[in-house]
Structure 1
């Protein structure tokens, strides 16, 4: 009963913190940590002891899966190289350099344990992304930060596992590198398979609640087998989330997608909040244990400050050359755009060419192999043109680079990873406290000043009202074309069935003909039949509009936010008609 009471209080705290923290101007994780610390000071405060493996295997997979589902696949594909550099290369670099810092601070610590600590403080947190997104910055910058926080968590934990394993036996750098690559590749393959299978299963479930319940098992269906073969279950959970999120619009009904979105957002909120509450509850006990250490609590605070500065410097040193590469890519895009327009044999911007290419693809799907191949090439050219248009209209300059550096906060994964350190780790309490302080300090300093930093740097903003109006008009053009094509298809279908309808008219004129009835045997009026036909006709048009939006989404002619809003409107209308 005591544990049940603690759970109820925790849910209430998470709910009120989520509502109040934006009004207070304080990140909700900091409020939850403070509440946890306050609860631990109470004489009747709960004594919570959580198995670290429960967090690693039971909490992180669904958290990362939920993040993967919500990431727009088109945005992820466009900046895949930059996201890969930030989430993998920067994570490795940070692990190595922070390992050297820890080895310098703790001479008695072996190199594997130092690298393990470096891996713990290397991943960034998604809290900064939420803050940046609320401030209305460029969607491309948000996508980069989201993609980085998605995969660097898994990469850091793979490195942590390899470093901890190296403490028990001598392994070479080559062995660790091979294990890292094999772990990632196996995880991607298994995650992709599980994501595809989960879409197939849920598309055949007519019960919305049952489909949602099954979705809660998907991250574990991806992570548990992957862990069993020695690969990264967290990477598998992320990939399964990306596959599920990208394919849901085509494979799942609007009711199922709406239910998944709401329930997964709730689960994500509860799991993240629980981790920060646990951090607050354990913080004072950890400080008490460290106070008995020779180095003491003040040393832990100083070490955490040094690590936090070193992490920011490392991130800045990595982001600077990344911006140089982005500027080169933008200049190359400027040179290639005229060629892409000529290749499509159509004047105008790349987005317009992409819309035309998508419309060509929707019209009939040519039966001749050669024509089909030509249309596929046109789609690829249009996609490339839209990608280059993004590089030109959403550049990454020094201002955006400053935001990327300051948004690299440490958070939930650092806290969870620190708790997974084995009990025989040398000076475990001190090292765990340092990791806790790095996460708390990062959230307090960087998160608390993020709004001020955005006002100072003034990075590229989201689309202006005028740009949104142009984009809305372009989307309306796509939807109108899809509706016209579907209506033409319905007219042709009706024309081919006129003979059958004429026979049905004769049957209805026969007095011996039985009137149509519904499932319960009651006669169906002509007005009811006409209403059903009108509803089915409108649903068919909605499905055609949705297919058109998904076609242009694959090309990347419009922003993910605009497409998501348009898809949500279509889903809401279809749900209303099907009720």
Structure 2
């Protein structure tokens, strides 16, 4: 099993690299590849362990998404995000539960609601990946990201309540509401508390390597602590990540550079592995369907998949327009969404590995020792919903985005805002330089040449952003800033080549080479940022 998991991990990352190289949707390609690879003997025994997903894969993915999210943007859209992340999963649980109860004879009402909770949370990783690639408007990306950060907490809490009723544990509406409230409050308290602790520790260190290491273990620790006190580990990790993301400016430049690189790589590995695992579950899912007619499976699959898709569309359209019709204050406060934006948000309902992990986590028997009602069908229907939505939405979403013209136009506004901010920052830097030179001239002579170089560098950075507004080198010819960057990059390449040659000749060792290369890399990163 260990060898199979390692093989699956390696293959998934390689396939993700190929998908990125070919500019296709990696989640979609990985699921399809997993379905095909499920027949390969070395991968045939790879089974999805619910604890592997919930305690190993999910926390760092939530953490990474939380760090990249904008707390300010999420707060602006808190009403819509709340409806998507809390209201929609609960509505999906109820509607899918009713449909499943009437189409799958073996399912009891609690077991059907368990299925509804399992397939309720969309996995917005794939939707946001497509949106990022095709340039969806920032507000749509904020809504999808905010939904994906919080809907797992709602659905998993509803899953716990429904599952408890299914296996025969005492479960009432009052207890269910109490469980939900405890999960939410406990998750927030743990997230804020441990997030502040992590931030306090990291800001007291001056060691980027240790700071990044603490950041790596933080999501696992926070998730585990929250679950141990019966809070929501998902909410705890998200809250802590949002808190630290807002305060990342307190960290040093080296820590920020290192954190970005580490989390981007880890996110790619975990997402690739998760989607590849989905496809690999096909033999296990089919193997449990003994003695069940194909007609029953076809009818229940079509009914449940349709219910999952339709309830999202109806919910999104209702709450996109009805509140605006009823509230003048809301119409004045929030911009009206375009029909295309509403449709794309309604259509971006792909399910993911969390749903499959929850399905595989359903016990084989109840507390009385009887078989769990309809468990094979429950797992199969979850697989159908996950793969069906990934394929259906994944294949059509890019086409709908292009056809409806739902693409962001924030580049020009961002460029103007960046240029204005860069101009103010450069003026502040110039004023500070004049102050420092005035202070130092009173005690020591500062070479005027050094001051001239600093002023020229500051002016170049101030002009660079304005030069890029709406024009490129093909339109206006090579600007002085572009020429400076091109020439300096060539000089850096020559320096790097020389240092490597010096190392190869034995004049410097590898440690010296790594030190000087880091300096050159940081300067190159600055030039490419300009």
Task: Place the TM-score, normalised by the shorter chain, in its bin.
Answer: 0.7 to 0.9
Alignment partners' CA distance in 2, 1:205 and 1:112 = 51
> Corresponding residue for 1:416?
357
1:76 Cα deviation from its structure 2 partner: 1.0
> Corresponding residue for 1:19?
17
> Corresponding residue for 1:117?
115
Cα offsets for 1:260-280 (capped at 9, x unmatched): 122112222222222333333
Alignment partners' CA distance in 1, 2:310 and 2:246 = 35
Q: How does 1:15-54 map to 2 (within 5 A)?
A: 15-21=13-19, 27-54=25-52
Cα offsets for 1:419-459 (capped at 9, x unmatched): 22122232322211110111001111111111222233333
Q: Contact 2:161–2:171 at 8 Å: present in 1 too?
A: no
Specify the SS of the correspondent of 1:421: coil
2:408 counterpart of 1:462? yes
> Corresponding residue for 1:228?
228
Cα offsets for 1:336-366 (capped at 9, x unmatched): xxxxxxxxxxxxxxxxxxxxxxxxxxxxxxx
Alignment partners' CA distance in 2, 1:39 and 1:397 = 41
Paired positions, count: 459
- Within the candidate set 420, 423, 437, 1:480 is matched to 423
Change (3 A) 1:317 1:572: farther
1:400 Cα deviation from its structure 2 partner: 1.3
> Corresponding residue for 1:404?
345
Change (3 A) 1:198 1:323: same
Cα offsets for 1:339-394 (capped at 9, x unmatched): xxxxxxxxxxxxxxxxxxxxxxxxxxxxxxxxxxxxxxxxxxxxxxxxx5xx44xx
Cα offsets for 1:290-320 (capped at 9, x unmatched): 0x13x24553343222112111221122112
Specify the SS of the correspondent of 1:41: coil
Alignment partners' CA distance in 2, 1:194 and 1:104 = 45
2:69 counterpart of 1:71? yes
> Corresponding residue for 1:321?
318
Q: Contact 2:114–2:162 at 8 Å: present in 1 too?
A: yes
1:246 Cα deviation from its structure 2 partner: 1.8
Q: How does 1:327-476 map to 2 (within 5 A)?
A: 327=324, 332=329, 391-392=334-335, 395-424=336-365, 425-459=372-406, 461-463=407-409, 468-476=411-419
Alignment partners' CA distance in 2, 1:203 and 1:537 = 34
Structure 1 unaligned runs (5+)?
336-387, 509-525, 543-570
> Corresponding residue for 2:94?
96
Alignment partners' CA distance in 1, 2:116 and 2:294 = 20
> Corresponding residue for 2:215?
215
Alignment partners' CA distance in 1, 2:229 and 2:384 = 34
1:573 Cα deviation from its structure 2 partner: 6.0
Change (3 A) 1:477 1:183: same
Change (3 A) 1:470 1:114: closer
1:159 Cα deviation from its structure 2 partner: 1.1
Q: Contact 2:187–2:231 at 8 Å: present in 1 too?
A: yes
Q: Compare 113-122 and 426-435 and name the one that shifted more.
A: 426-435
Specify the SS of the correspondent of 2:91: helix
Alignment partners' CA distance in 1, 2:411 and 2:526 = 27
TM-score, length-normalised on structure 1? 0.71
1:25 Cα deviation from its structure 2 partner: 7.3
> Corresponding residue for 2:307?
310
Structure 2 unaligned runs (5+)?
366-371, 462-520
Cα offsets for 1:463-493 (capped at 9, x unmatched): 1xxx644542333223322333454456557
Change (3 A) 1:251 1:34: same
> Corresponding residue for 1:360?
none
1:17 Cα deviation from its structure 2 partner: 2.1
Change (3 A) 1:413 1:8: closer
Q: How does 1:227-266 map to 2 (within 5 A)?
A: 227-248=227-248, 250-266=249-265
Alignment partners' CA distance in 2, 1:182 and 1:537 = 59
TM-score, length-normalised on structure 2? 0.77
Q: Contact 2:118–2:355 at 8 Å: present in 1 too?
A: yes
Change (3 A) 1:311 1:44: closer
Q: Contact 1:68–1:150 at 8 Å: present in 2 too?
A: yes
> Corresponding residue for 1:163?
162
Change (3 A) 1:534 1:206: farther
Q: Contact 1:37–1:284 at 8 Å: present in 2 too?
A: no
Cα offsets for 1:119-144 (capped at 9, x unmatched): 11111112012112322221111111
